Structure 1
Amino acid sequence: MAGVCCGLVNESETSTACVQSSRAARRRRMEIRRFKFVTGVATPEQESTSTDQKRQKLEGYCTAPFSRDCEKAVQTSFTDDEKKENERPETKEISNSNDGCASTSVSSEYPKFGVASLCGRRRDMEDAVAIHPSFSSHGHNSTTKLHYFGVYDGHGCSHVATKCREKLHELVKEELLLLETQEEEWKGVMERSFYRMDKEVNAWNETVLGAKCRCELQSPECDAVGSTAVVAIVTPNKIIVANCGDSRAVLCRNGKPVPLSSDHKPDRPDELKRIQAAGGRVIYWDGPRVLGVLAMSRAIGDNYLKPYVSCEPEVTITDRTAEDDCLILASDGLWDVISNETACGVARMCLRGKAHAPPCSPPGAEVAVSETSDKACSDASMLLTKLALARHSSDNVSVVVVDLRRTRNH
């Protein structure tokens, strides 16, 4: 018993020993932690290098997509150079009289518009946009100005869409000049212009290999390249829309969407019938496609798919009314994820954002609407493109918003 009892201690001694032992262990753990932490700290020079590397990575992550997507993406009405180039003597006097008291009309000045075009999640930007205010006069009254707006959505490469942007409005102008002494025939004018554009593109494709073009790696003759085209010509009283492909034009009238074009999809009943009558087939490969290749049934270019893919546009002529808010032209990158109703609601919200002057504003302050609506149109177009990306649109997105409101004093 003595041998056993000699190893016993009382409770106070046990408590003291445990406390001392736990404190010592805690000190040792803290010393180890401090040691490990100190050895992991970089020197000031290393820390600076690490911070710079992190900043570079952060900047590359944050700015690269935006610089790729948004560089030159927004256009507000027109630049000073474009204004001087397009300005006519009869419009110059009116454009300089923005004192809020001048009696001006839509027919004698430039329309307000906004443009946004984003590459989005695609590797390359294949959309193109054409804006030509007062690009032509028509009829016996030379003061009647026509305003041209176009959106072209290329596929296979961008050079057909680019060619349409550079040339199609000139072809329309030439066709209009031929009708100067005849009755207005918009359908024939637009159809002939599109046919001529298609012919020029196919002829130009034979020499495009001389240019630095990505499609030269895909097709020696560039036959597999094309573009949709939705074109709107705005006159004082009418809106003429010619559409070839799945880009779309929508009129916002009193807050409600009015489609001015119909998408040319291969499974559209009349398009399907036309393709089959020409000897072609529509194959479902990630959606309906002409011969299992092209997801639209009409386009400019695509020579290898003719006659199944037609360049003939569908033309609509719409009378303008006092209830018209705006016109929206956009590539299918927008319409794939956003409905006509939503697009009109967003555009109208932006346009109405500055439509109401403060209660204490002097009489005539509502004229500011016409002076600032270009900013509102740009906000609308950019907001629509961002909304399309937020809804995971996988295509290029190009949007044109034209202000059609009659807010001038007469």
Structure 2
Amino acid sequence: MEDTVSLHPSFCVWADGSPMHFFAVFDGHGGPHVAALCREQMHAILATELAAAAQGHGGDEEGSWRAALARSFARVDALAPEGAIVGSTAVVALLVRDRLVVANCGDSRAVLCRGTHAVPLSEDQKPDRPDERARIEAMGGRVMFINGARVRGILAMSRALGHKLLKPEVICEPEITITTRSDDDECLILASDGLWDVISNKVACDVARQCLEDGSPTRARTAESGEAGPSSSGAPVAQQPEPRCYRAAALLARLALGRESSDNISVVVIDLKARG
């Protein structure tokens, strides 16, 4: 398992006193090292960059958010191992006031469930995406088709953190979208490609929305395993009510497994209506 997730509500405060909330999924490739680095460092580095940006944003707060995210991705990328083909995708979502800020590097994905519609807030960065292929070839690189499009026949995405041996073709610059929230917004789904390979944006939103709207009592779960059950000594373990977001994410992961996804699957569901 090379995926990691990072959840940090109220991880920093913006210039006007508004709390900012951080959620992310990182999908490691070639080993778990860079994904683990992202989990441990990305939110902390971004908090320092946002704090600096808040001091002199000059009224252009969206430009400041974009710049802070770009600098944070570059700083984490610089910490990745030298001379290695090991790296990670990164899809990061910031919630601040009525805005959803999404930064994406790789082929993990963010999808907004707005009413009955699925609104992608990121676009997968694949080597055969026309603009990405043109950029790679302009850098002197090649896109080869070996079990799908791959940079130099190795990496099945055109942007990622790490992968030092595949630079300059593979870059760490995120694509960033900023979306104003609507009263129709139900939830935001962040997931690695193990989910999206077998489940469409629309189906994922339908499943998540149904879980969040369901008012029936939830099952108990263990904090560590996600399932109710005995401890290693055979005694019952302490159980907690299962949050609806947890239930939605777990159901999506099980659905992807049922559809025989062949990749790691990590899912985060963020309830934008703050239900229990």
TM-score by length of structure 1 reads 0.59
Could you tell me how far apart the structure 2 residues matched to 1:152 and 1:198 are? Answer: 13
2:179 is aligned to: 318
Q: Deviations over 1:124-158 (max 9, x none)?
A: x100000001000011x32x111100100000000
* 1:224–1:252 CA distance, 2 compared to 1 (3 A): same
1:131 aligns with 2:12: no
* Secondary structure class of the residue paired with 2:79: helix
Question: What displacement does 1:168 show?
Answer: 0.6
Alignment of 1:401 onto 2:269:
yes
Counterparts of 2:274 and 2:4, CA distance in 1: 29
Structure 2 CA distance, aligned partners of 1:373 and 1:131?
Answer: 19
Hey, what does 2:260 align to over in structure 1? Answer: 392
Q: 1:166 aligns with which of 40, 54, 57?
A: 40
Q: CA deviation at 1:405?
A: 1.3
2: distance between equivalents of 1:396 and 1:289? 19
In the alignment, the residues of structure 2 paired with residue 260 and residue 169 of structure 1 have an alpha-carbon distance, to the nearest angstrom, of 20
Is 1:148 aligned with 2:22?
A: yes
Do 1:373 and 1:403's aligned partners in 2 also have CA atoms closer than 8 Å? no
1:127–1:336 distance in 2 versus 1, CA, 3 Å = same
Check conservation: 2:26, 2:38, Cα contact below 8 A.
yes
For each residue in 1:278-311, what CA deviation from the matched residue of structure 2 results, as whole angstroms up to 9, or x when unmatched?
A: 0001000000000100000000000000010010
Question: SS of the counterpart of 2:72?
Answer: helix
Matching of residues 17-166 of structure 1 within 5 Å: 125-139=1-15, 141-142=16-17, 144-166=18-40
Which of 246, 250, 270 is the aligned partner of 1:378?
Answer: 246
The structure that is helix-richer by fraction is 1
CA distance in structure 1 between the partners assigned to 2:32 and 2:140 by the alignment: 29
Instruction: State the partner residue of 2:68.
Output: 189
| Cα deviation, residue 406, structure 1 | 6.0
Q: Which has the higher strand share?
A: 2
Larger deviation, residues 263-272 vs 346-355? 346-355
Instruction: State the distance in 1 between where 2:112 and 2:241 align.
Output: 17
Q: Distance in 1 between matches of 2:27 and 2:275?
A: 33
- The answer (yes or no) to whether the contact 1:351–1:373 under 8 Å persists in 2 is no
What is aligned with 2:223? Answer: none
Q: Note if 1:304 corresponds to 2:165.
A: yes
Q: How far 1:171 moved relative to its partner?
A: 1.1
Unaligned runs of 5+ in 2: 217-239
Pairwise CA distance, 1:188: 0.8
Q: Is the 8 A contact 1:322 1:406 kept in 2?
A: no
Q: Is 2:142 the partner of 1:281?
A: yes
Q: Is 2:195 aligned against 1:328?
A: no
Taking structure 2 as the reference length, the TM-score comes to: 0.87
Deviation for aligned residue 1:251: 0.4
Q: Which of 168, 180, 188 is equivalent to 2:54?
A: 180
Whole-Å Cα distance in 2 between the matches of residues 181 and 296 of structure 1? 36
The list of structure 1 runs, each at least 4 consecutive aligned residues, that deviate by more than 4 angstroms after superposition, is: none
Q: CA deviation at 1:374?
A: 6.8
Aligned AA for 1:166? E
Q: Are the counterparts in 1 of residues 93 and 102 from structure 2 also a CA contact under 8 Å?
A: yes
Compute the displacement of 1:182 (Å).
2.3
The C-alpha deviation readout for 1:224-256, integer Å capped at 9, x for no partner, is 100000000011210000000000000000121
Larger radius of gyration: 1
User: Does structure 1 residue 259 correspond to structure 2 residue 259?
Assistant: no
Distance (whole Å) between structure 1 residues aligned to residue 70 and residue 192 of structure 2: 20
CA distance in 2, matches of 1:373, 1:343: 23
- Provide the rounded CA distance (Å) in 1 between the counterparts of 2:145 and 2:275: 48
Give me the whole-angstrom Cα distance separating, in 2, the residues matched to 1:228 and 1:347.
Answer: 23
Deviation at 1:181, TM superposition (A): 2.6
Which residue of 272, 279, 284 maps to 2:133? 272
Offset from partner CA, 1:186-219 (integer Å, 9 cap, x none): 2111111101110112xxx25xxxxxxxxxxxxx
Amino acid at match of 2:14: H
Within-5 A mapping of 1:160-239:
160-183=34-57, 184=61, 185-201=64-80, 205=81, 221=83, 223-239=84-100
Aligned residue type for 1:186: W
Residue 215 of structure 1: aligned partner: none
* Aligned-partner SS, 1:309: coil
RMSD, aligned α-carbons: 1.8
In structure 2, give the amino acid aligned to 1:167.
Q
Could you tell me how far apart the structure 1 residues matched to 2:275 and 2:198 are?
A: 32
